[in-house]
Structure 1
Amino acid sequence: MTPTTWPCPLPDGGMEKEYALAFDRGRAQRVLIVPALFDEGNRMRRLTVEVMRRLDRAGIDSLAPDLPGTNESVLALESIGPAQWRTAMAAAAAHFGATHVLGIRGGCLFTPSLPKWHYAPVKGAQILRSMLRARMFADREAGREQTREALTDMARTEGITLAGYPLNAALFREIETLEPDPSVPIIEQERIGGSGLWLRAEPDEDASQADALAALLSEALRA
């Protein structure tokens, strides 16, 4: 596995280098992985990398680009909108010559138009509700009582920081409306086994889940 960069288009017509993790040996089958969003992305980072390792051993290249404004991105999340994430993932797919795409959780909202699978897809509103719930618990522990309705109203009008991520009001409102494409084949958690790693309190890994997800992808690619 090596870190690499790719040219990410900016709304003003410019370009910015963004990072990606890559198992790239120039093989025929090349899977672009659109990662889970926000705190779920942190919890599932290890699983993503372990799936990539297994695909590499199966003779399949894989590439996991950063969404602009996240991870090692030099762009500020406050300046990003969902349309830019879609454009960025399409640009990454073209740059790396991806043949297939795997979306993970919230990443399923931004998968480009290639043959693809969605692993445990989730609506944007569900992601935000989970993050708002965590914000409410944190505020309560700090002696501040706020309702989800009040936090949501603030987020829609002023923006909000959730799980350490500063979301501007426009980004929050747009994410609320997003839903995965129902026509894309879904890999449900039941097929992987165990509980979803996004449900755990801290980042974690599960070798058996990585084995199962990589095996499903390898089988589908060879069908």
Structure 2
Amino acid sequence: MLVPPLFDEMNRMRKMLVDVMRSLQSVEVSSFLPDLPGTNESLIALEQVTLTDWQKAIEACAQQHDISHVASFRGGALTVTAMENARHWIFSPVKGATLLRTMMRTKVAADRESGLNTGLADLTRQAEAGPLELAGNVIGSDLFAQLNAADIPHLQNQRIVRLESDNKPADMQIPGSALWLRAEPDDDSALSSAIAQDIAEWIKP
């Protein structure tokens, strides 16, 4: 099971994730990519969802499909913390507060262009009082608070993979570009191939 990145990072990395799944299929490794509650065609609005909801949904999905190997990407790693007995492959994990700050800075810049003087502290207060729209995502107070406190998980059986350009601790570093930093959705065939190859090697008994 592949667990997607969160918010706008998912949009930027969707093509890469599909390419990874196709590459895995070519070496006879089946995979699927579930949607998180509140995203895409979900019947529940994102502003009603909490991080706990995401964690429970991912755990239930894994149990339903008898999944023992989980590959999560970026902020998606924050949703797998309840699955302690699974094996975890985690790509470039990130703290929830880091994701929020990135989106908040984008909103501050957009507000400034519109003549509004907004700061990170102002947005934090707004999020504490009610739903806050960041990068097209309406985030409820509970989700904001939980993400703001969510650290990178340290699971019993995990493999951390990062880009070669990333100097943070990792079990493996692979070539490629940080697609989540692109202005528009994009792909990177070298990155997709490297990810699929490492996952295929990792799941071997």
TM-score if structure 1 supplies the norm length?
Answer: 0.83
| Structure 2 spans left out of the alignment, 5+ residues | 165-172
1:187 pairs with one of 154, 161, 164: 161
Q: Report the equivalent of 2:187.
A: 205
Match among 133, 154, 164 for residue 126 of structure 2: 154
Report the equivalent of 1:92. 61
In the alignment, the residues of structure 2 paired with residue 98 and residue 188 of structure 1 have an alpha-carbon distance, to the nearest angstrom, of 23
Deviation of 1:198 after TM superposition, in Å, equals 0.4
Contact 2:177 2:188 in 1 (8 A): no
Once the two structures are superposed, the pairs formed by residues 1-223 of structure 1 within 5 Å of their partners are: 32-111=1-80, 112-113=83-84, 114-183=86-155, 184-190=158-164, 191-222=173-204
Give the letter for the 2:106 counterpart. Answer: A
| Count of residues in correspondence between the two structures | 192
Which structure is richer in relative contact order (CA contacts within 8 A, separation 6 or more)? 2
- RMSD (Å), alpha carbons: 1.2
Q: TM-score if structure 2 supplies the norm length?
A: 0.90
- In structure 2, give the amino acid aligned to 1:187: V
Deviations 1:22-57 (A, max 9, x none): xxxxxxxxxx11100000011111111110000111
Q: Distance in 2 between matches of 1:219 and 1:173?
A: 37
More strand by share: 1
